[in-house]
Amino acid sequence: MPSFQRKGRLAWVLTLLACAQAGAQTLPAADPALEVRGRWRIEQARTEPIYDRALARLEFGADGRLSGHTSCNTLKAAYVLEGQRLRIEPISTTKQRCGRLQLEQEDRILSALELAATARVRPDGLLELREADGRGVLRATRVPAGD
C-alpha cells in the first residue's frame, strides 16, 4: 500500500478517535435533582425500619413541592434541592387518629425530613437523605410507574 494511503487511513482513524473523545467529554453530568424527583417508598427513618411500608411514601415534585404519607397522615412541604443540598420548608400534615406504632413511625419520618440536609440517589437506586454531619436519616426505594 502506498504511503499516502496509509497516511490517509491514519488521519481518518485519528479523526474518529478525536471525535469520540470530544463527545465523551461534552456529555452533561446527571443532575441530582432530576434523580431525586419522583415517588419513593420509605424503607427506613432515623435508623429504624418502617414497619408499615404500604403507605409510607414521599414524592419530590418537579415544581419544588414535597408530598407524601407517613402511614398515618398525609404531608406537604416545599423543598429546594441544589446539587445534593436539600432544604425542606416547614411540613404540614393532616391530623388523623392513629395507633401508637403509626404515630411513632410518623414522628421518625417527620423528624428525618426536618433534619435532612442532603439528598442523593445511590448507584443501587436507593434514595438517601442525610443530616448536615453526614448521618443517614431516611432511606427509600423508587416506586415503580403505575404502582
Q: The whole model's pTM is what?
A: 0.76
24/106 Cα distance (integer angstroms):
45
pLDDT per residue as tens digits for the range 28-77: 445 555 689 999 999 999 989 998 878 899 999 999 999 999 999 999 99
Using DSSP's 3-state secondary structure scheme, residue 30 falls into coil
What CATH code would you report for 32-142?
A: 2.40.128.270
* 38-42 LR contacts (CB < 8 Å, sep 24+): 38/142, 38/143, 39/142, 39/143, 39/147, 40/127, 40/140, 40/141, 40/142, 40/143, 41/140, 41/141, 41/142, 41/143, 42/68, 42/109, 42/138, 42/139, 42/140
90/76 Cα distance (integer angstroms):
9
Question: Domain coordinates of the chain in residue numbers?
Answer: 1-30, 32-142
Residue with the three cell numbers 443530616: 131
pLDDT attached to residue 145: 79
- For the cut 90, the answer to whether the pLDDT of residue 5 exceeds it is no
The contacts of residue 73 (CB under 8 Å, 6+ apart) are: 93, 94, 95, 96, 98, 106
119/28 Cα distance (integer angstroms):
20
pLDDT attached to residue 71: 92
| H-helix or E-strand spanning residue 127 | strand 127-130
